[in-house]
Amino acid sequence: MAQNSNNKKQVEQITDMEVDFAQWYTDVCRKAELIDYTSIKGMFIYRPYGYAIWENIQRELDQRFKACGHENVALPMLIPESLLQKEKDHVDGFAPECAWVTYGGSEKLEERYCIRPTSEVLFCEHYKNVIHSHRDLPKLYNQWCSVLRWEKTSRPFLRHREFLWQEGHTMHATEEDAREETMRMLNIYADFCENVLAMPVVKGRKTDKEKFNGAEETYTVECMMHDRKALQAGTSHYFGDGFAKAFDITFTGKDNQLHNPHQTSWGVSTRLIGGIIMTHGDNNGLVLPPRIAPIQAMVIPVAQHKEGVLEAATALLERLQAAGIRAKMDDSDQSMGWKAAQYEMKGVPLRVEIGPKDMEKNQCCICRRDNGEKIFVPLDQLETTAAQLLDAVHDGLYQRAKKNLEEHTRVCLTLEDVKQFMESEGGFAKTMWCGDEACELKMKEQAGVSSRCMPLEQEQIGETCVCCGKPAKHMIYWGVAY
């Protein structure tokens, strides 16, 4: 249960993560008012507070995309079956998750329409119509939308049947340009996770078994949660010219010859919110990184019935808002204990309190959500101190998450080492690997782990594969993933 015993009756209790991590996660999603269930399994309602987090993620990423020259577009949500069939590997990978429209009104359709699980084929159909010359390239498009995948199991934010995401789709004249784009977007995701979400990442390439359907190479940013499981936070794919050939997309190059363009796609989704919860949350509820928190500072008047308190609190609110800080004030008739527990549950980074005693001393009290520290701040230093504390909260969350990642990443030299590490502790096992899928499957069967990525920063921690003893080709991370 939540640790603030004085407030247990005022704010609903949550399960301790050490007792039942899955139930703790569900409790936080519901009681921090992020999400609600619907009558359709796997389809959730994003409540205003949860959707506001996504809006802030969207705004931050959209600025980064546009700074690289990307433009937003909107494509249809329905894909004709005949179009989907043009890229066999791609459609085969998604077939079990596809949902189909077979009726239009009361009439049966001549052709089934797939509700998009992703939009590669739709973009390719469009690109065929608008790419003719090298002067038309590159095409740097991004789409903010929802997609539908008929998942058998679902969990809030982590695995929805319908979920929100962004999907970038770009076309380039050369392989070199497309590969550069693939890595640029991977690095944007990594930078965003670390410098906005305070989530340290491992950047790497997926194995052929784990890469995206139809891609030549898939790159990923992997994060470690509180319970030491992995979360794939974002992916960037290099498609080569395979889709272009399948859809007969050509352009006249500078050499006056016809060429197929090279393609990328990349995306993140609302599962990032699940990652934030499981990276930073605690037994009192949600802990939000300040840079995407809908409310960065909550002003609370103490003994607000006393003369001048509400006016003083309102003045603080207006000053914080004028300084560009997302601030609100709670002047409701709820008790002070309820308010403190409520905004702790909702993960608000800073709580700013002022009462009669503070007014006498010309100060206010600021409480940090990440560590509970209370700081008494002279009123003439409010804006500067609040901004500094928001940065301090971000840095504190990042360092705590980085410590979790580093302390639970282990070099393993044998398969038995991996098994013992996963059974006793869990986390990321670093091993050498021969590159053979048979060994990858053996790791899953015997140690219960999947390959997370071959990190871009390779280390030589041995000469032979952890599974078969043959000469190793890669250093690789293994783990249990969401």
pLDDT at 225: 98
Average pLDDT over residues 126-149: 98
| Spans of all domains in the chain | 5-79+119-280, 295-392, 409-479
Quick: pLDDT tens for 421-443: 999 999 999 999 999 999 999 99
Average pLDDT over residues 62-77: 98
**Domain 295-392 is found in CATH 3.40.50.800:** yes
- Predicted confidence (pLDDT) at residue 452 exceeds the cutoff of 50: yes
Quick: pLDDT tens for 305-314: 999 999 999 9
- Predicted confidence (pLDDT) at residue 91 exceeds the cutoff of 50: yes
- Predicted confidence (pLDDT) at residue 43 exceeds the cutoff of 90: yes
| Residue 231 tokens, joined | 């979360």
- Predicted confidence (pLDDT) at residue 72 exceeds the cutoff of 90: yes
Rounded to 10 degrees, the C-alpha dihedral 391/397/400/404 comes to: -140
Distance CA 83, CA 98 (A): 14
Distance CA 11, CA 44 (A): 23
For residue 425, the number of C-alpha atoms closer than 13 Å in the C-beta half-sphere is: 13
User: Architecture of domain 409-479 in CATH?
Assistant: 2-Layer Sandwich (3.30)
Residue 67: is it exposed, middle or buried by C-beta count within 10 angstroms (0-12/13-18/19+)? exposed
pLDDT at 257: 98
**Cβ proximity of 81 and 116 under 8 Å:** no
Average pLDDT over residues 272-278: 98
Query: Residue 5's pLDDT band (boundaries 50, 70, 90)?
Result: very low
DSSP string, 295-308: -SEEEEETTTTSTT
pLDDT at 339: 96
Place of tokens 């605690």: 282
Residue 406, beta-bridge partner list: none
pLDDT at 2: 41
**Cβ proximity of 300 and 312 under 8 Å:** no
Q: What percentage of the chain reaches a pLDDT higher than 90?
A: 94
pLDDT at 96: 85
pLDDT at 90: 66
Residue 28: is it exposed, middle or buried by C-beta count within 10 angstroms (0-12/13-18/19+)? buried
Whole-number mean pLDDT of the chain? 95
| CATH level 3 topology of 5-79+119-280 | BirA Bifunctional Protein; domain 2 (3.30.930)
Query: Residue 94's pLDDT band (boundaries 50, 70, 90)?
Result: confident
**Cβ proximity of 162 and 145 under 8 Å:** no
Quick: pLDDT tens for 203-247: 999 999 999 989 999 999 999 999 999 999 999 999 999 999 999
Residue type, position 389, single letter = L
- Predicted confidence (pLDDT) at residue 82 exceeds the cutoff of 80: yes
φ, ψ at 147 (rounded to 5°): -130, 165
